Amino acid sequence: MYDVIIIGAGVSGSAVARELSRYKVNACVLEKEEDVCCGTSKANSAIIHAGYDAAEGSLMAKLNVEGNQIMPELSKELDIPFEQCGSLVVCLDEASLPNLQALYDRGVKNGVEDLEIITDKARIREMEPNLTDEVVAVLSAPTAGIVCPFHLNIALAENAYTNGIDFKFDTEVESIEPIEGGWKLETSQGAYETRYVVNAAGVYADRFHNMVSESKIHITPRRGDYFLLDKNAGKHVNRTIFALPSKYGKGVLVTPTVHGNLIIGPTAVDIEDKEGTATTREGLDELSKASLNVKNLPMRQVITSFAGLRAHEDHHEFIIRELEDAPGFVDCAGIESPGLTSSPAIGKMVAEILREKLDLDVNPDFNGTRKGNIDLDTLSKEEKAALIEKEPAYGNIICRCEMVTEGELLDAIHRPLGARTLDGIKRRTRAGAGRCQAGFCTPKTMEILHRELGIPMTEITKSGGDSQLLVGYNKDRI
């Protein structure tokens, strides 16, 4: 019997796992997909929000601000990209100034530091030359930032794993029932027993909550569509640019990414399908609203579109607590935006509940640091040459768009909780994430996966399940 089973290896479940690994505990993460970071955590705006959006006094506001404050240090510990680039909320008419002021006031009450309303147009222009000429004022939040959501999620999971937390993939939890001293979970890979369950199942969290509790919750998948633009558009803005919610709706943001791209989005459409991540024509058309705030957007540089699903709970609040009518079952539900920002604080909060309940002792061997992938862009010419001499695979370019080498792929495959699929490689190394969207590197990446994992080419998938790329060999059919 495990002490704790966490359902879901998204950023919430992985953050809980890492914080829990600070203690001596027999714990496991069960994930229905083939890898970590396969749910909402892989498709979002990647913004570390400052914290002025959530209602004053809410758990969302508290964990947002805490998570924002933890992120600079955490990114160093986990060796992941993070830039505190700041954000601006753009106000386009005098009549909306009170709304901008309300955001400022709420931010101050939530504990956000260094907020400022700027009305000096010359200063605004200097900060963001591509902001619309219609701008009247901006709310500046220098503590906002951007991360790579894949690296954050993967690094949290990897660090939890190396500190002793078990991860089981392709393991879908199907039902939960109380047993003496805990819970029995039926999964696609057999039954598991545990004293405590942490429900971090994203858009599916209501399903598990409602299996064990009489007090029901309802999560609506709220789809957000995006455009991703090529790297030569990445400097169009220097910060995250938000629209001030107005008569035109909630607006669409424009932000650089830590990898040098630009993203535009998201929409907000409530749907029923918890797997409904296909983009729509109407959704993508709506993204043209971004030009209300940012001029000359280079839309010809769009290289792909994607959508993510917010786990919107009816009361728009994080639900993080042990259930009164289901002792031993801890919810981590309704984790919509700013869930990515809040994840380190969510991890701490849930681990503290478990530490207290299970009376856990400190793990004396806990090591909170990890070394991330080698980023060749950060090396000098001489350092690169020395690396290639020692390990020639770092001289073999596999992805030409992102200049990713075979050495980086080997690292991604062989490090703890390593990549098993094309998407797993993409999230860890960016091979396939560039302009040609994997058109060039797919066969080479497949050959490396085949060679390193010892699996037939016909079993290599894009993203697990039955997403194989090859169905057989031509000659077999002759």
Ligand X SMILES: Cc1cc2nc3c(=O)[nH]c(=O)nc-3n(C[C@H](O)[C@H](O)[C@H](O)COP(=O)(O)OP(=O)(O)OC[C@H]3O[C@@H](n4cnc5c(N)ncnc54)[C@H](O)[C@@H]3O)c2cc1C
Is residue 69 part of the contact set for ligand X (CB under 6 A)? no
Instruction: Give the up-direction half-sphere exposure of residue 69: CA atoms within 13 A in the CB hemisphere.
Output: 14
- Residue with smaller CB distance to ligand X, 261 or 442: 261
Among 3, 13, 263, 279, binds ligand X (CB under 6 A): 13
Size of interface with ligand X, in residues (CB under 6 A): 38
What is the nearest approach in angstroms of ligand X to the Cβ of residue 250? 12
What is the nearest approach in angstroms of ligand X to the Cβ of residue 344? 11
Rounded to whole angstroms, what are the CA distances from 234 to 230, 336, 377?
A: 7, 26, 16
Is residue 284 part of the contact set for ligand X (CB under 6 A)? no
Q: Which of residues 323-352 bind ligand X (CB under 6 A)?
A: 335-341
| CB distance 206 to 334 below 8 Å | no
| CB distance 88 to 133 below 8 Å | no
Q: By C-alpha distance, which of 408, 82, 427 is closest to 257?
A: 82
- Residue with smaller CB distance to ligand X, 38 or 441: 38
Among 12, 87, 405, 461, binds ligand X (CB under 6 A): 12
Q: By C-alpha distance, which of 234, 244, 52, 57 is closest to 144?
A: 52
Catalytic site includes residue 49? yes
Among 85, 144, 165, 309, binds ligand X (CB under 6 A): 309
Is residue 41 part of the contact set for ligand X (CB under 6 A)? yes
Among 4, 6, 7, 139, binds ligand X (CB under 6 A): 7
Per CB under 6 A, the segment of 5-13, 52-60, 112-120, 457-465 that binds ligand X is: 5-13
Give Dmax (Cα) for the chain.
74
Give bridge partners of residue 192 from the DSSP assignment: 185
Alpha-carbon distance of 329 to 212, in angstroms, equals 8
Per CB under 6 A, the segment of 2-10, 97-105, 372-380, 403-411 that binds ligand X is: 2-10
- Residue with smaller CB distance to ligand X, 69 or 337: 337
What is the nearest approach in angstroms of ligand X to the Cβ of residue 313? 11
Give the 3-state secondary structure of 433-475.
CCCCCCCCCHHHHHHHHHHHHCCCHHHCECCCCCCECCCCCHH
Q: Which residue has the tokens 């969290």?
A: 205
Alpha-carbon distance of 253 to 258, in angstroms, equals 16
**Helices in 21-148 by DSSP H: which ranges?**
59-78, 97-110, 121-127
Structure-token pair, residue 343: 């994840």
Is residue 310 part of the contact set for ligand X (CB under 6 A)? yes
Is residue 229 part of the contact set for ligand X (CB under 6 A)? no
Residue nearest to ligand X (CB): 339
Per CB under 6 A, the segment of 126-134, 287-295, 303-311, 450-458 that binds ligand X is: 303-311
Burial of 216 (0-12, 13-18, 19+ CB in 10 A): exposed
Among 172, 186, 317, 452, binds ligand X (CB under 6 A): 172
Among 173, 229, 349, 446, binds ligand X (CB under 6 A): 173
What is the nearest approach in angstroms of ligand X to the Cβ of residue 111? 17
Rounded to whole angstroms, what are the CA distances from 449 to 96, 225, 409, 412?
A: 54, 31, 9, 10
Alpha-carbon distance of 295 to 289, in angstroms, equals 11
- Residue with smaller CB distance to ligand X, 11 or 446: 11
Among 5, 6, 11, 139, binds ligand X (CB under 6 A): 11
Among 182, 224, 234, 256, binds ligand X (CB under 6 A): 224
| CB distance 193 to 2 below 8 Å | yes
Per CB under 6 A, the segment of 6-14, 78-86, 241-249, 296-304 that binds ligand X is: 6-14
Q: Which residue has the tokens 């290289």?
A: 303
385: which residues sit within 8 A by CB, 6+ positions away? none
Catalytic residue selected from 49, 209, 236, 312: 49
**Helices in 315-472 by DSSP H: which ranges?**
339-358, 381-390, 406-414, 422-429, 442-453
Tell me the per-residue interface mask from 17 to 36 with ligand X, x by CB under 6 A, - otherwise: -------------xxxx---
| CB distance 469 to 446 below 8 Å | yes
Is residue 279 part of the contact set for ligand X (CB under 6 A)? no
Per CB under 6 A, the segment of 19-27, 196-204, 285-293, 451-459 that binds ligand X is: 196-204
Among 201, 330, 360, 409, binds ligand X (CB under 6 A): 201
- Residue with smaller CB distance to ligand X, 87 or 373: 87
Q: What is the DSSP letter of 6?
A: E
What is the nearest approach in angstroms of ligand X to the Cβ of residue 18? 13
Per CB under 6 A, the segment of 38-46, 87-95, 155-163, 281-289 that binds ligand X is: 38-46
Interacting residue ranges for ligand X, rule: CB under 6 A: 7-13, 30-33, 38-41, 44-47, 49, 172-173, 200-202, 204, 224, 266, 308-310, 335-341
Q: What is the set of active-site residues?
A: 49
